Amino acid sequence: MRAAHPREERVGMAFYASDADGVGGRLRVRPEDFRVREVETLDPAPVGSDPGDYPHLLVRATLHGWDTNDFAGRLSDALGMSRERVSWAGTKDKHAVTTQLFSLRGVSADEVPAVRNADIEVVGRLGRALQFGDLAGNDFSIRVRDLACDTAAAADRIDAVTESLADLAGGTDGAHVGVPNYFGHQRFGSRRPVTHRVGLHVVRGEWREAVLAYCGDPADSEPAETQEARAVVDEVATSDDPDWQRALDTIPGYLRYERSMLHRLAEGTEAEASEAEAGGDAEDAEGAEDGEGAEDGEGAEDARFRHALEAVPSNLQRLFVNAAQSYVFNRIVSERLRRGLPLSEPVAGDVVCFTDRDVDAPFAVPDTDREQRVTETRVDVMRRHCARGRAFVTAPLVGTETELGVGEPGDIERAVLKELALAPSDFALPGAFDSTGTRRAVLVRTGVETAVDDEGAAFDFALPRGSYATVFLREFLKVDPLDL
């Protein structure tokens, strides 16, 4: 089993599925080298429909060099409304040309603003906001440049990887390749993979550590100015009387979420100082000491740092916990690979989910309401279902409602959770941080068309929602994830 790049190991991706050499190279040398278009499933009402019945305007935006969250913020600013009124079905990368849907609550068609490097088309109206997963999948057309070998060698290596991944896919049609359905590096932060660490602290109730992991802890892949600012946050945090205003003043404006958190800490410190100077009263002092307004069992300091973490949008709060779940999932899949357990077919103890009947075959995903535990007597039957694309082997995205597997798959899940000091019950969290959990396929299958020429290598493929193009391409490139 070929070991992954050290940066990938840090986010739980320990192995490649193919042992063949990669072609090297870089993605996104130009934004147009990475094109992705959502495969839509919605049937919106006409634009002229009654806004009372259909309060959400649906738009399709083709974005050049826009991060999804940043574009949503730009839209809400231009419309003079809360970002919470902008929703989307899937998050896309900044260094790309992406076409995706957004819903805008309480906005009319003639109010849609012009935004630089964005082509916005009004599509219709919806009775509800878009939700994550409101798409079948994504179509990708990707150019890899600066290959590490000549065209003949690149073609041979791509063929070798393809053959290996076809074996991994299993199945009966022979037309697909398969890759471990890892969460990609960008799920955790492309340049500074830290969101899962924040999430792990949140799940353990370590609110102070969560804030400092996000605001401090500089990474060598960041600009020098950013590293220096984060170092100041770390320095301030070690003080017996932290000067959070100093930390805030150091953080550059483009780190707006860090600034939002530190602003709340500085504001809280200033309020406490003013109260102390005024003398306060015994009742106020007692309430502050007991952490008034905190969750049950949560002290004043925990409440203060949780309040700081809640300064970011609710979708980012959810992302912290989702990233922690994703890291656990990656670890489980990696351990499955290390032990030689198959991904395309179940073993006794696995939890298999049947295919979602509402999704067309090329974008099939598990229906987590239709799961079955695989016993010794059902292994052969369930293997046939998986081979025919009717079912998926799954692993948990751990939450409060997660029931772990049994047998060797269950041993893997429990060992990973024990090492991380986590349990499903830990995900009973306040507000947007709470998660019941779900299940995810451990393997993703797709068809792929490839070509090699003097400009590099081209890959055309499609993936179901929730699967990552970079996870697919890493098998063919085998490079530092920073080049993905």
DSSP helix/strand/coil, 260:
helix
Residue with tokens 């799954």: 394
Query: For residue 279, how far is the Cα from the chain centroid?
Result: 47
Angle between helix 207-215 and 224-237 (nearest 10): 150
Q: Which residues pair with 179 in a beta bridge?
A: 444
Task: List, in order, residues 6 or more apart from 433 with CB less than 8 Å away.
Answer: 202, 317, 318, 320, 321
Other CB atoms closer than 10 Å to residue 104's CB: what's the count?
Answer: 27
Residue among 144, 138, 170 nearest 475 (CA):
144
Residue with tokens 């040309």: 97
What is the helix (H) or strand (E) element at residue 330, kind and residue range? helix 314-339
Distance of alpha carbon 176 from alpha carbon 435, whole angstroms: 33
DSSP helix/strand/coil, 328:
helix
Tokens representing 46?
């006409």
Task: List, in order, residues 6 or more apart from 475 with CB less than 8 Å away.
Answer: 16, 17, 18, 22, 161, 165, 179
Q: Are 448 and 162 in contact (CB under 8 A)?
A: yes
Residue among 327, 200, 310 nearest 257 (CA):
310
- CA torsion 333-335-341-343 (nearest 10°) is 10
Q: Are 177 and 448 in contact (CB under 8 A)?
A: yes
Q: Are 172 and 445 in contact (CB under 8 A)?
A: no
Q: Are 212 and 233 in contact (CB under 8 A)?
A: yes
Q: Which residues are catalytic?
A: 93
